[in-house]
Structure 1
Amino acid sequence: MPFALVGLPHSRQELKQAAGLASRHVARGLRPLPPRRPEARQRLRVGYLSADFHAHATAALMADLLESHNRDRFDVRLYSHGPDDGSALRQRVRGAAEHFVDVTPLDLAATAQRIRADGIDILVDLKGHTAGSRLAALACRPAPVQVSWLGFPGTSGAGYVDYVIGDPVVTPLGDAADYSECIAQLPRCYQPQDRQRRPGAAPSRAQLGLRDHALVLLGANAVYKITPPLWAAWMEVLRRLPEAQLWQLSGGDQADARLRDAAAQAGIEPGRLVFMPPVGMDEHLARLQQADLALDSWPCNGHTTTSDALAAGVPVVTLKTNGFPGRVAASILAAAGLQSCVTLDAGAYVERVCALGRDGAERRALHERIASRPEGLYDTPRFARELEALYQRMWERALQGLPPAALPA
């Protein structure tokens, strides 16, 4: 699956090839429904298809946006093929949409038929090539306009998806040849945020296994994103900052042991690595406040994890690469006004981390910038209007009988 490639060094062309093979494979045997002619209506019907309308990163990003949609102009419907976990987030997301349709019992063709029966104008798949996806339902062409957004950082490779939503950082128009879809750009970061999401009381460092006076460097991304060049950069940071501890999300006992061994081989005391176990979303956000600085991963950045760090008030240093997966953190940080935390190569990444590690005043200034809740990142009503305007541009082309085309910001 293309998602396995996302965490490894790859070119955009390689990801497009892998995605195209996967999209054709998952859609085998599915036939398009009879074409549906777009019709003008007062309220545009937008459907979101996902398995993640529960306590999941996607729902956490989407909740405020769904609540901010203009109900006078948009009829928003959620098509869920995931579990009902009974969480508060599940209830919030469910209440934010005009219609919530559980298509879990349906197969791909029946999912598409239900979406067609509801007269959806623009269908937005939020999964792409991730676990539990029903992207292949779009091969049946249930809606006149079909869009990929948010769940998968790259092209779907699918001839049955018209647009991919990004922004000038993650999907520059110059990369159009590496996308099977037409690029549709939001003017700012493509990733929505939740204005209401704030951390609760933080546990003490002692409770987390951290030293009170250490410089805590957060590695909140999954261990599959740790490549040898990234690890070498982190070990160099630890050599230069002897007071630092690396606080890494656990990958399980075996993975943690191997990372400790790798640290020892690099000349770093293994006890300087502290592993955090998986916990619930709210508990995780609260504990992140004990970090001094977050170390992003590359070539696949932290996506929701970058947003989590900022929500907890923690600055993030990233390395911007030449593909969608490695540009997400740069896009988020630019929206937050933290461009000074974006680097372009491994050497600059190490230097920037070390400089911030030694300069408590600059870290505090960055923290204050984050705590101000910058409008470029947290103005969800504006984000909703910009997204709706993008949908309207897609729909106007469809009404005019025009094929999908690039939609610059």
Structure 2
Amino acid sequence: MKFYDLSRSMCEWERLDEWRGKIRTALAGNQAGKISPFHLLSLPGMTASEQRACAELWMKPRIEASAMERLDMAFTFGVSARPKIRLGYLSCDFHAHATSLLLVELLESHDRERFEIFAYSYGPDDGKGMRERLKKSFDRFIDIQGLSTSEAAQAIHGDEVDILIDLKGYTQATRTAILAFRPAPIQVNYLGYPGTLGGDLCDYIITDRFLTPPDSADDYSEAFAYLPDSYQPHGREGPIGARPTRAEAGLGEEGFVFCCFNQAYKITPDVFDVWCRLLADVPGSVLWLLKNALAEGNLRNEACRRGIAPDRLVFADDKPQIEHLGRLGLADLVLDTLPYNAHTTASDALWAGVPLVTCAGDTFPSRVAGSLLHAIGLPELITDDLEAYYELAFDLATRPARLSEIKRKLAGNRLSTPLFDIRTYTRDLEALFETIWQRYRDGEPPAAIGRIREPEGEPLDLQEEIELSECEES
């Protein structure tokens, strides 16, 4: 699969159908441990059910290999009499990483009267300052990088963590195998991986109703823990740098700027077809992409094949977060990818005041941008097929008055809707953790929990919503 990784990062698409066929053959043959679940997230045509099957097959040999060691350790749990719930956040990204940029204000907002917050870190300190800020937001910061899987699990269990929150899933440098030891009585899949971990690794997944509708529950091994708005946190303190000139950003002085700063592996030929149609139909426009030395030449060639001059693609250098947010204001419209949406890059764009057009699919990663747009009160920017996606983007690019109205609405909603209200988000997440913990204390198994926010009024408990629906049907 290393060749597959490289080809997707280079935007070499000739073998996509071949790779999809091979993956489906491997899944049908129950070939365990062959295909990383992460590969399926950005591969067009894969279903959430196939993503779950892949996750379970991936972990099967890893779980079997640790069976005797896990049996020897056989962690047990009492019911803590502590007044505070002890949360353990598990990740290798406690540094200047997208996950930490999203999380830091949430961690700083946690109610220390009700929760103890522990970090279990198995990643490096990049020296950029975020690690020190994060350390201050935890009650304890434990470096487990040098520990074996079983030693790390023993450390977490020894600290009597009540709820262990995994922030990595099957992303790069993960140590998901720690979860297989079940070092905490409740384990939660949250934020870092947009999909199920499969098997018995986690009891709950933090989500929202748009992201994972109730009828998709069979595609997840975890029970849904619903937040009332979006699953994704984002604070209000992220500074936005000065906006450079278009020339300083490598853009021409005139012309509409379509933008997508997603990683190159998320770009698919069907989406790129739409982008090139937009460039053809909006004279003078450019497509502003994130620089990737491996992909740049291939993308320019693909544009040529679609009748677009290669210089209509402009590639942006990597920048520190503050500068990145500042330059985003030069974009007129952000175009999303499918089936792996923009995640942090979507909330970055909205925070910087730039509208985003998305196409929602049927899997978790294909619905993230839609989740964010709902939470900021812009559902009109969500489409459900690529033709509608093209038409909406074209309309906004050629009707300045409509685009200006969307931008005015975004500016008005930015601090008045839930998406960037980190304090309310934190209280909602803490309410989920308290419900999860109370269910455990009461001996109840994991089940769908959470709330939805009514258009006018307080959030409604999921159980109350179900009961109301049953009354309406009867």
Output aligned runs, 1:224-373, within 5 Å.
Answer: 224-252=265-293, 254-372=294-412, 373=414
In angstroms, what is the RMSD of aligned CA positions? 1.3
Q: Which runs of 5+ in 1 are unaligned?
A: none
Residue 235 of structure 2: aligned partner = 194
Q: CA separation in 2, counterparts of 1:337 and 1:243?
A: 31
Larger radius of gyration, structure 1 or 2?
2
The answer to whether the aligner puts 1:15 opposite 2:15 as a matched pair is no
Q: Name the % identity.
A: 44
Residue 433 of structure 2: aligned partner = 391
Contact 1:317 1:353 (8 Å CA) reproduced: yes
C-alpha deviation, 1:309, in angstroms? 0.8
* TM-score (normalised: structure 1): 0.97
Instruction: For 1:189, give the aligned amino acid.
Output: S
C-alpha deviation, 1:21, in angstroms? 1.4
* Counterpart secondary structure, 1:205: coil
Residue 121 of structure 1: aligned partner = 162
Select between 185-194 and 37-46 the one with higher mean Cα deviation: 37-46
Larger relative contact order (CA 8 Å, sep ≥ 6): 1
Q: CA separation in 2, counterparts of 1:144 and 1:38?
A: 9
Contact 1:167 1:186 (8 Å CA) reproduced: yes
C-alpha deviation, 1:117, in angstroms? 1.0
C-alpha deviation, 1:284, in angstroms? 1.8
C-alpha deviation, 1:218, in angstroms? 0.4
Q: CA separation in 1, counterparts of 2:143 and 2:377?
A: 39
Residue 65 of structure 1: aligned partner = 106
Instruction: For 2:142, give the aligned amino acid.
Output: V
How many positions carry a matched residue from both structures?
408
Q: CA separation in 1, counterparts of 2:418 and 2:396?
A: 23
C-alpha deviation, 1:136, in angstroms? 1.2
Instruction: For 2:276, give the aligned amino acid.
Output: M
C-alpha deviation, 1:232, in angstroms? 0.8
The answer to whether the aligner puts 1:56 opposite 2:97 as a matched pair is yes
C-alpha deviation, 1:107, in angstroms? 1.4
Output aligned runs, 1:9-48, within 5 Å.
Answer: 9=44, 10-27=46-63, 28-29=65-66, 30-31=69-70, 33-48=74-89
Q: Which runs of 5+ in 2 are unaligned?
A: 1-35, 452-474
Output aligned runs, 1:126-205, within 5 Å.
Answer: 126-205=167-246
* Counterpart secondary structure, 2:342: coil
Contact 1:19 1:157 (8 Å CA) reproduced: yes
Contact 1:51 1:82 (8 Å CA) reproduced: yes
* TM-score (normalised: structure 2): 0.84
Contact 2:303 2:309 (8 Å CA) reproduced: yes
Select between 362-371 and 2-11 the one with higher mean Cα deviation: 362-371
Q: Deviations over 1:43-69 (max 9, x none)?
A: 000010011110000000001100111
Residue 260 of structure 2: aligned partner = 219
Select between 282-291 and 312-321 the one with higher mean Cα deviation: 282-291
Instruction: For 2:78, give the aligned amino acid.
Output: R
The answer to whether the aligner puts 1:3 opposite 2:3 as a matched pair is no
Contact 1:52 1:82 (8 Å CA) reproduced: yes
Contact 1:247 1:274 (8 Å CA) reproduced: yes
C-alpha deviation, 1:366, in angstroms? 2.5
Instruction: For 1:4, give the aligned amino acid.
Output: H
Q: CA separation in 2, counterparts of 1:78 and 1:273?
A: 42
* Counterpart secondary structure, 1:246: strand
Q: Deviations over 1:234-253 (max 9, x none)?
A: 1111111112100011221x
C-alpha deviation, 1:39, in angstroms? 2.5
* Counterpart secondary structure, 2:206: strand
Q: CA separation in 1, counterparts of 2:51 and 2:94?
A: 27
C-alpha deviation, 1:277, in angstroms? 2.3
Q: CA separation in 2, counterparts of 1:241 and 1:268?
A: 12
Q: CA separation in 1, counterparts of 2:383 and 2:97?
A: 29
* Counterpart secondary structure, 2:295: helix
Q: Deviations over 1:101-158 (max 9, x none)?
A: 1111111111111111111000000000101112210111111100101011110013
Select between 7-16 and 369-378 the one with higher mean Cα deviation: 369-378
